[in-house]
Structure 1
Amino acid sequence: MATTEENRQFTVFQAAFIGLGAMVGAGIFALLGAAGEIAGAAVWLSFLLAGGIAILHGYSFAKLGAKYPSAGGMLEYMARGFGEGHVTAVTAWLVYAANAIVTAMVAVTFGSYASAVVAGQDQTWAKVFSCLLVVAMTALNVAGSTAVARVQSVIVKVVISILVVFAVVTMVNMEPSLLAPSGYPGVREIVSSVALTFFAFLGFGVITFTAKDLPEPSRQLPRAMFLALGIATAVYVAVALGVFGTLTVDQVIASGGTALAEAAKPTLGQFGYVLMVITALFSTTGAVNSGLYPSIGLAGYLASTGQFPPVFGRFVGRRRASAGLLIMAGATLLMVVFFNLNSIASLGSAVALLVFSAVTFAHFRVRRETGASLIVLVVAVVCTLGTFVVFCVTTLAEEPVTALTLVGIILLSVVVDLLWKRTLRSRGASPGAAR
Structure 2
Amino acid sequence: MSRTGTEKKQFTTMQAAFIGVGSMVGAGIFALLGAAGAVAGAAVWLSFLLAGAIAALQGYSFAKLGTKFPSAGGMLEYLSRGFGRGHVPGITSWLLFAANGIVCAMVAVSFGNYASAVFTDKNATWARVFGCVVILAMTALNAVGSKAVARVQAVIVNVVVAILAVFAVVTIANMQPSLLAPSGYPSVQDIVSSIALTFFAFLGFGVVTFTAKDLPDPGRQLPRAMFLSLAIATTVYVAVALGVFGTLTVDEVIASGGTALAEAAKPTLGEAGYALMVITALFSTTGAVNSALYPSIGLSQHLAGTGQFPPVFGRSLGHGRRQLPNGLMAMAAFSLVLVLFFGLGRIASLGSAVALVVFSLVTLAHFRLHRETGAHVWVLVIALLSTVVTLVVFCFTTLVDEPVTALALVAILAVSALIDVGWTYRRDHHHGATPRVA
TM-score category of the 2 structures, normalised to the smaller one: over 0.9
Secondary structure of residue in 1 paired with 2:32: helix
Q: Which residue of 2 aligns with 1:378?
A: 381
Structure 2 distance, partners of 1:169, 1:61, is: 35
Structure 1 distance, partners of 2:32, 2:397, is: 16
Indicate if the aligned counterparts of 1:115 and 1:129 stay in contact, CA closer than 8 A. Answer: yes
Structure 1 distance, partners of 2:435, 2:371, is: 23
Establish whether residue 69 from structure 1 lines up as the match of residue 70 from structure 2: yes
Q: Which residue of 2 aligns with 1:357?
A: 360
Once structures 1 and 2 are overlaid, which stretch shifts more, 146-155 or 212-221?
212-221
Once structures 1 and 2 are overlaid, which stretch shifts more, 107-116 or 156-165?
107-116
Counterpart AA for 1:123: A
Q: Which residue of 2 aligns with 1:110?
A: 111
Q: Please list, as runs of the form range in 1=range in 2, the aligned pairs for 1:198-277 lying within 5 A after superposition.
A: 198-277=199-278
Q: Which residue of 1 aligns with 2:398?
A: 395
Q: Which residue of 2 aligns with 1:425?
A: 428
Establish whether residue 331 from structure 1 lines up as the match of residue 318 from structure 2: no
User: How far 1:329 moved relative to its partner?
Assistant: 1.2
Cα–Cα, structure 1 residues 432 and 113, in superposed 2: closer, same or farther, change >3 Å? farther
Once structures 1 and 2 are overlaid, which stretch shifts more, 132-141 or 329-338?
329-338
User: How far 1:5 moved relative to its partner?
Assistant: 7.7
Secondary structure of residue in 2 paired with 1:16: helix
Cα–Cα, structure 1 residues 316 and 4, in superposed 2: closer, same or farther, change >3 Å? closer
Q: Which residue of 2 aligns with 1:415?
A: 418
Counterpart AA for 1:59: Y
User: How far 1:336 moved relative to its partner?
Assistant: 1.9
Q: Which residue of 2 aligns with 1:292?
A: 293
Cα–Cα, structure 1 residues 269 and 430, in superposed 2: closer, same or farther, change >3 Å? farther
Structure 2 distance, partners of 1:195, 1:260, is: 21
Counterpart AA for 1:289: N
Structure 2 distance, partners of 1:269, 1:431, is: 67
Counterpart AA for 1:412: V
Q: Which residue of 1 aligns with 2:121?
A: 120
Structure 2 distance, partners of 1:385, 1:71, is: 27
Counterpart AA for 1:15: A
Structure 2 distance, partners of 1:38, 1:398, is: 14
Cα–Cα, structure 1 residues 297 and 171, in superposed 2: closer, same or farther, change >3 Å? same
Once structures 1 and 2 are overlaid, which stretch shifts more, 325-334 or 165-174?
325-334
2:324 to 312, 321, 325: 321
Counterpart AA for 2:324: A
Once structures 1 and 2 are overlaid, which stretch shifts more, 144-153 or 2-11?
2-11
Establish whether residue 89 from structure 1 lines up as the match of residue 99 from structure 2: no
Give the unaligned 5+ runs of structure 1.
none
TM-score (structure 2 length as normaliser): 0.96
Structure 2 distance, partners of 1:157, 1:23, is: 14
Q: Which residue of 2 aligns with 1:193?
A: 194
Structure 1 distance, partners of 2:196, 2:72, is: 29
Indicate if the aligned counterparts of 1:305 and 1:432 stay in contact, CA closer than 8 A. Answer: no
Q: What root-mean-square deviation, in Å, do the aligned CA atoms of Structure 1 and Structure 2 show?
A: 1.5
TM-score (structure 1 length as normaliser): 0.97
Q: Which residue of 2 aligns with 1:31?
A: 32
After superposition, give the CA deviation of every residue in 1:291-350 in whole Å (9 maximum; x if it has no partner).
Answer: 110000000000001100000000221153211111111222222223345334301011
After superposition, give the CA deviation of every residue in 1:183-206 in whole Å (9 maximum; x if it has no partner).
Answer: 111111110000010010010000
After superposition, give the CA deviation of every residue in 1:9-63 in whole Å (9 maximum; x if it has no partner).
Answer: 1000000000111101142112121111111111100000000000000000000
Once structures 1 and 2 are overlaid, which stretch shifts more, 117-126 or 146-155?
117-126
Find runs of 4+ consecutive structure 1 residues off by over 4 angstroms.
1-6
Structure 1 distance, partners of 2:344, 2:281, is: 18
Cα–Cα, structure 1 residues 338 and 401, in superposed 2: closer, same or farther, change >3 Å? closer
Establish whether residue 345 from structure 1 lines up as the match of residue 348 from structure 2: yes
After superposition, give the CA deviation of every residue in 1:386-423 in whole Å (9 maximum; x if it has no partner).
Answer: 11111011111111211111111101110111110111
Q: Which residue of 2 aligns with 1:182?
A: 183
Q: Which residue of 1 aligns with 2:15?
A: 14
